[in-house]
Chain A
Amino acid sequence: MAERRIGDTILDADSISLSFGGIQALSEVSLAIREHEILAIIGPNGAGKTSLLNVINGFYHPQRGTLTWKGEVRRRMRPYEAAAQGIARTFQNVALFRGMTTLDNIMTGRLMRMRRNLFWQALRVGPAAHEELEHRAYVERIIDFLEIEAIRKVPVGQLAYGLQKRVELARALAMEPELLLLDEPMAGMNVEEKEDMCRFILDVNDEFGTTIALIEHDMGVVMDISDRVAVLDYGRKLADGPPDEVRSDPDVIAAYLGVER
Chain B
Amino acid sequence: MTPRAAVATTQEPAAVTAAGPDALDTFPKMLMAHAKLRPDRPAMREKDYGIWQSWSWGEVAAEVAALAGGLASLGFARGDKLAIIGDNRPRLYWAIAATQALGGVPVPVYQDSIADEMAFVLDHAEVRFAIVEDQEQVDKLVLVKERCPLLEAVIFCDPRGLRHYPQPYLHAYDRVREAGRAMLGERPDFLAAEIARSHGADTAIILYTSGTTGRPKGVVLSFDNLIATARAAIAFEGLSDKEEVLAYLPMAWIGEHIFSYAQAYCAGFCVSCPESGATAMTDLRELGPSYLFAPPRIFETILTQVMIRMEDAGWVKRRLFHYFLGVARRAGPALLDRKAVGWRDRALYRLGDLLVYAPLKNTLGLSRVRVAYTAGEAIGPDLFLFYRSLGVNLKQLYGMTESSVFLCIQKDGEARPDTVGVPIPGVEIKIAEGGEVLFRSPGAFQCYFKNPDATAEAKGADDWVHTGDAGFFDADRQLTIVDRARDVGSLAGGALFAPKFIENKLKFFPYIREAVAFGNGRDFVAAFINIDLEAVGNWAERRSLAYGSYQELAANPLVYDLVEGCIAAANRDLAAEPTLAASQIRRFLILHKELDADDGELTRTRKVRRRTIAERYQSLVEALYSGAGTGHIESEVTFEDGRRGTMRAELAIREAATAPLPRLTPEPEPVRRAEAVA
Q: Which residues of A contact B (CB under 8 A)?
A: 1, 136-137, 140-141, 143-145, 147, 149-150, 152, 199, 202-203, 206-207
Chain B residues within 8 Å of A207, by CB:
160-161, 163
Q: Does B304 contact A (CB under 8 A)?
A: no
Chain A residues within 8 Å of B48, by CB:
144
Given contacts A137-B49, A140-B49, A140-B50, contact A149 B161 (CB under 8 A): no
Chain B residues within 8 Å of A147, by CB:
276
**Could you count the A-B residue pairs with CB atoms below 8 Å apart for me: how many are there?**
34
Complex Cα–Cα for A202 and B160 (A): 11
B160 and A149 contacting across the interface, CB-CB below 8 Å = no
Across the interface, name the chain A residue whose C-beta is closest to B47: A149
Given contacts A137-B49, A152-B50, contact A206 B279 (CB under 8 A): no
Across the interface, name the chain B residue whose C-beta is closest to A199: B161
Complex Cα–Cα for A152 and B274 (A): 14
A149 and B164 contacting across the interface, CB-CB below 8 Å = no
A202 and B161 contacting across the interface, CB-CB below 8 Å = yes
Complex Cα–Cα for A177 and B159 (A): 22
Given contacts A147-B276, A150-B276, A150-B282, contact A1 B164 (CB under 8 A): yes
A149 and B163 contacting across the interface, CB-CB below 8 Å = no
A206 and B50 contacting across the interface, CB-CB below 8 Å = no
Q: Does B601 contact A (CB under 8 A)?
A: no
**Partner of A150 from B49, B160, B164, B279 at Cβ < 8 Å:** B279
Complex Cα–Cα for A145 and B48 (A): 11
Chain A residues within 8 Å of B276, by CB:
147, 149-150
Across the interface, name the chain A residue whose C-beta is closest to B276: A149
What is the minimal beta-carbon distance from B112 to any residue of chain A, in angstroms?
Answer: 14
Q: Does B63 contact A (CB under 8 A)?
A: no
Q: Does B114 contact A (CB under 8 A)?
A: no
> Could you write out 14 A-B pairs with CB less than 8 Å apart?
A1-B164, A136-B50, A140-B49, A140-B51, A143-B50, A144-B49, A147-B276, A149-B276, A149-B279, A150-B276, A199-B161, A203-B160, A206-B163, A207-B161
Per-residue A-contact encoding for B31-54, CB less than 8 Å = 1, 0 else: 000000000000000001111000
Chain A residues within 8 Å of B163, by CB:
206-207
Please classify the interface of chain A as helix (H, G, I), strand (E, B), loop, or mixed, using the class held by over half of its residues: helix
**Partner of A206 from B49, B51, B161 at Cβ < 8 Å:** B161
Q: Does B243 contact A (CB under 8 A)?
A: no
Complex Cα–Cα for A81 and B49 (A): 31
Q: Does B278 contact A (CB under 8 A)?
A: yes
Q: Does B244 contact A (CB under 8 A)?
A: no
Q: Which of A140, A143, A150, A152 has the most CB of B within 10 A?
A: A150
B282 and A206 contacting across the interface, CB-CB below 8 Å = no
Chain B residues within 8 Å of A140, by CB:
49-51
Q: Does B275 contact A (CB under 8 A)?
A: yes
Across the interface, name the chain B residue whose C-beta is closest to A151: B278
Chain A residues within 8 Å of B50, by CB:
136, 140, 143, 149, 152
B161 and A150 contacting across the interface, CB-CB below 8 Å = no
With A150-B276, A199-B161, A206-B161 given, name 16 new contacts (CB 8 A).
A1-B164, A136-B50, A137-B49, A140-B49, A143-B50, A144-B48, A145-B160, A149-B50, A149-B275, A149-B278, A149-B279, A150-B275, A150-B282, A202-B161, A203-B161, A207-B163
Chain A residues within 8 Å of B275, by CB:
149-150
What is the minimal beta-carbon distance from A227 to any residue of chain B, in angstroms?
Answer: 14
Chain A residues within 8 Å of B164, by CB:
1, 206
What is the minimal beta-carbon distance from A19 to any residue of chain B, in angstroms?
Answer: 43
Chain A residues within 8 Å of B161, by CB:
199, 202-203, 206-207
Complex Cα–Cα for A143 and B48 (A): 10
